[in-house]
Structure 1
Amino acid sequence: MWLRILGSAAGGGFPQWNCGCPGCRAVRTGSRPCRPRTQSSVAVSADYRQWFLFNASPDIRIQIEAFPALRPHAERTTPLRAVLCTDAELDHTLGLLLLRESRSLEIHATPAVHKTLRDGTSLLRTLEHYCDVEWRPVIPETDVPLGNWLSYRAFDVPTTKRARFGSEMEQGRVTGYRVTDERNGRTVVYLPGVQELTPEVRAQLDDCACLLVDGTCWRDDELIHLGLAARTARAMGHLPISGPDGSLDRLSPLPIEHKIYLHINNTNPILLEDSPERRSIEQRGMEVARDGLEIRV
């Protein structure tokens, strides 16, 4: 299968419009080697003709235009077959509204995510006034065919992050996906948001050929240290990369062919290509996603 990283940054992109942190200053001025990034989204295909989108970022229009395989081949057509949501966060779902010109839109989401998109953010209620929306309920630990040799199995990712809408259901607020090419059994795990690598989540990584994993913050107190927020990375639902229980120590020893950090916050120093944090990542066999990165698994 083919993977295309459409966007590799966390919410707000890189640089973030209202931020003057060292990373954002560097990408604006060119003072250090780094590149701009749009907000996190990934496209997957088994044949390079039909594509499935994992999360629809607010940058989806320019991401589609930047990737010829996602452009229409005739009037009002699209190679995009469905959108699979990992959660209901705005940086992962606002792009649904930008797909409103579609005749119909197939959306895979857990009941918890679907409820938030309808009754919390009301994105689906708005979208339904423009096109037909077909909701496919995501049921964890169930194999679901996507067509053209692909299937997925979703798994619950426990989180204690603050629910923004009082009616949000606890189970299924955050989801990871194992996508399998049935022709060769090769599997990709997409996990852009994870608070802890619990034994259950860790087991989902077994035997995968490619792991796309949460790289939001380098350190747990990153935003506090920079004076930008009062909450830790974990409190916001993200496992930091560094530290004795961080993702780098936990994931770098795993025998996975491609281990790639994405959903990277603008404050994370791994975005600076000459930083010691970036060198540490690469020396331990991990990669940093960039917009436009394409991988064949």
Structure 2
Amino acid sequence: MWLRVLGSAAGGGSPQWNCGCPVCTAVRSGTGPARTQSSVAVSAEGRSWFLINASPDVRTQIEAFPGLRPHGDRASPLEAVLLTDAELDHTLGLLLLREARGLRLHATPAVYKTLRDGSGVLRTLELYCPVEWRAVVPGADVPLADGLSCRAFDVPTTKRHRFGPGADHGRVVGYRLTDDRSGGRLVYLPGMQALTPQLCAEIAGCECLLIDGTCWRDDELVRLGLAGKTSREMGHLPVDGPDGTLARLPSLNVGRVIFVHMNNTNPILLEDTVERHLVEAAGMEVAVDGLEVEV
């Protein structure tokens, strides 16, 4: 299977329009690459593609990737969109896909309900094009295309629900994608509050893991005076620390680890930082827009 990182930053991108933190300042000066908001595309054979999350930058991301451009008169190679949650930075791009003849959407009942009755994104989209909802059931193996299957898994979170009380389960999921011909496994997990035993079991032994790299420190935004919440309170396990991803992942026997969904404040976005060197010394990678992975 093939995967293309369309966007490697968290909500707001890097640089964020209203942020003057050291990383955003460096990116604006040209000493670091700009990044769009988090999303990837996956394909079994490199012809038809599945989008995981639809960011507000989806149009720019499609134009930057020839594999997702139309072939002929509005014949798009985009087969469906899979959602990990109902966050605006993962779903607003659905509205930019409204010219589609129809859109197939894979989402848990909790996410689907939030998009219809909470944020209203889905109700608006349905005024423009037909939407076929396919309910995502965590733990169930589902064929996506010939040679490609996926299994969603629940990602527990205590993050505040912005659109009403919400549900306890299915608010956030990760996806384990399998190449049915080679048996190769890839896990996409852009949002994770803790590495629970269940999540470790889903990750362990996979050939490639794209994982939440939102903040380096738990109090990163607090230290910079940009927010009053820690990374964990926002639903994201930090990279650093005794129980952070950098310390925990080596024991899970993952072939390749790539950090995605980095906040604009995270110093690993810049190549010449101590934090970036620590990630690379551990044998892990930091995604950039346009990174391609074959499993």
Within the candidate set 107, 110, 119, 1:109 is matched to 107
The 5-angstrom pairing of residues 11-160 of structure 1 reads 11-30=11-30, 33-160=31-158
Residue 169 of structure 1 and its aligned partner are, at CA, apart by 1.2
Give the equivalent residue in structure 1 for 2:192: 194
C-alpha deviations, 1:38-61, integer Å up to 9, x for none? 000000001100100000000000
CA contact (8 A) 1:252 1:285 kept: no
Residue 34 of structure 1 and its aligned partner are, at CA, apart by 1.3
Give the equivalent residue in structure 2 for 1:206: 204
Q: Which runs of no fewer than 5 residues in structure 1 stay unpaired? A: none
Amino acid at match of 2:210: L
Q: Which runs of no fewer than 5 residues in structure 2 stay unpaired? A: none
Distance 2:243 2:84 in 1: 24
What is the number of equivalent residue pairs in this alignment?
295
Residue 147 of structure 1 and its aligned partner are, at CA, apart by 1.1
Residue 77 of structure 1 and its aligned partner are, at CA, apart by 1.0
Residue 256 of structure 1 and its aligned partner are, at CA, apart by 1.8
Amino acid at match of 2:174: G
Residue 230 of structure 1 and its aligned partner are, at CA, apart by 0.1
C-alpha deviations, 1:97-134, integer Å up to 9, x for none? 00000010000000000010000000000000000000
Residue 167 of structure 1 and its aligned partner are, at CA, apart by 3.7
Amino acid at match of 2:278: S
TM-score (norm 1): 0.98
Give the equivalent residue in structure 2 for 1:245: 243
C-alpha deviations, 1:193-216, integer Å up to 9, x for none? 000000011100122110000000
Deviating beyond 3 angstroms after TM superposition, the runs of 4 or more aligned structure 1 residues are none
Residue 3 of structure 1 and its aligned partner are, at CA, apart by 0.6
**Identity of counterpart residues, as a percentage?**
68
C-alpha deviations, 1:131-181, integer Å up to 9, x for none? 000000000100100012111001000000011122411211000110001
Distance 1:86 1:234 in 2: 18
CA contact (8 A) 1:120 1:167 kept: no
2:198 matched to 1:219?
no
TM-score (norm 2): 0.99
Q: Which moved more, 1:225-234 or 1:141-150?
A: 141-150
Distance 1:142 1:295 in 2: 25
Partner SS for 1:204 = helix
Distance 1:271 1:77 in 2: 36
